[in-house]
Amino acid sequence: MEIDGTVDADESIVVNLNQTRLQRLCEHFRKRKLIWTIVLIILIVAIIVNPIVIVTMNKGKREKTSTIQITTVEIITATAAHITTEKIAAATAGKPEQITTTEKTTQIATEKTTQIATETTATEELIPLVIINEDTKWKQSATTVAGGNKRGDGLNQLKQPLGIYVDEDSESIYIADTDNNRIVRWKFGAKNGTIVAGGNGQGDNIDQLRSPTDIVLNKEKTSLIICDSYNKRVIRWSLQNSQSKEILISDISCWGLAIHNNGDLYISDYKKHQIRRLQQGDKEATIVVGYHGQGNQLNQLNEPMYIFVDKNHSIYVADCANNRVMKWMKNAFEGTLVAPGKASGESLNSLKEPIGVIVDHVGNIYVSNSYAFQIKRWSPGAKEGVPVVGEEKIESDGPTELSHPYDLSFDRQGNLYVLSYGTNRLQKFVIDVD
């Protein structure tokens, strides 16, 4: 009972409490309603005002952008600057053409900027971003970045490798692992390579290679282009579809390949003593150097090996049996001697059988020759070649030594890669920035 009474009293309290709570809640909601209405009004006002603000701001922005682009034009070309002057004149006069002129100028500016960007990309692909000149040095002690585990066909080994191609985009180095009849890709820093072409025994089936000597990637970087030397063919091998392979050129004793950033492919033929070019879309490769057969005249070659093509389509050729390096400008009737130095008293033996050649920003050439165990640099007009790596001239497998250095390449940082055929390894000489 007592319990009941207590319960009753308590219930009434609860009810009372509940009633006041309800009232408070109602009040609260009423206040909230008011707040919401105010917020809503603010929102509506904001929605109306906002576009006006944005439009005004955009106007300001647009004007700013135009000014920047116009300034760029002024710097880029005199012609564009001329148009700008016209535009400014028009603006001052307040003519109606004002807007169209601005649009035109902006368009030109954009076009020019795009052009410059494209040119920069093109340069990146061929020569390093770091400016290399005759003062550049490399650390004499190299690290082995592929192979170096004796001669063999394991994935951590190479067997008499000849050609390399460094691809910064995929952070990989492609190697023509010649005596293993395969192309391997080594990711930067990897302990092992992976087979990306061949490796199916020696033969001439479409999925086989026979002593490949060089590789490049096509312009789109979707396919490998392989100089399948002993099969006397250049083949395109898709990296995306293992079934897609195609013979690009047959009956060619190819040795070296080079690709221009526009997609043109250059090939050396060491038995016909020629350089040929396959332009994108062409069915046949045309002869660009070597109409005059084997010989040592300026318009002849004798067993051309690796080649390098610069931005201007000049071809540098390691003219092996002539013990010299030649430069052929686009559409030239004869080449010019770039190494050994013309005016030097160097005997021809100073460049015995050059094999590999690459070129830096200022036209210095870097040459490997099988018998010197070092890489030498010839500056334009220099009398003599200067050794840059392998200075000791010792044929061995130490970190400062090279054995039959063949193909070579820079990366974008200016590091120098040299393939050491005799010791079955790829050596990386880091650029010395001190």
Q: How far is the CB of 363 from ligand NAG (least distance, A)?
A: 6
Minimum CB separation of residue 172 from ligand NAG in Å reads: 16
Query: H or E segment at 367?
Result: strand 365-369
Q: Which is nearer to ligand NAG, 211 or 314 (CB)?
A: 314
**Neighbour-count burial for 248-279, b at 16+ CB within 10 Å, e otherwise:** bbeebbbbbbbbbbeebbbbbbbebbbbbbbe
Nearer to ligand NAG, 140 or 314 (CB): 314
**Of 201 and 380, which CB lies nearer to ligand NAG in the complex structure?**
380
Is the CB of 235 or the CB of 288 nearer to ligand NAG?
Answer: 288
Q: Which of 74, 77, 75, 76 is nearest to 88 (CA)?
A: 74
The residue whose two tokens read 């390096």 is: 325
The residue among 326, 340, 327, 338 whose CA lies nearest residue 372 is: 340
When the beta carbons of 369 and 423 are compared against ligand NAG, the nearer one is 423
Q: What is the bridge-based pairing of β-strands 194-198 and 182-187? A: antiparallel
- 172 DSSP 8-state letter: E
Q: Least CB distance from residue 310 to ligand NAG, whole Å?
A: 4
In this chain, which residue has its C-beta nearest to ligand NAG?
154
Distance CA 159, CA 420 (A): 11
Least CB distance to ligand NAG at residue 154 (A): 3
At closest approach, how far in Å is the CB of 121 from ligand NAG?
16
Laid out side by side, the sheet with 286-289 consists of: 254-259, 265-269, 274-278, 286-289
The structure tokens listed for 201 are 């025994």
Binding site for ligand NAG (CB under 6 A): 154-156, 192, 310-312, 314, 363
- Distance of closest approach, residue 118 Cβ to ligand NAG, in angstroms: 16
- For ligand NAG, give the closer residue by CB, 70 or 288: 288
Q: How far is the CB of 136 from ligand NAG (least distance, A)?
A: 16
Query: Which two structure tokens, joined as six digits, stand for 84?
Result: 């700008």
d(CA 354, CA 308): 13
Nearer to ligand NAG, 154 or 398 (CB): 154
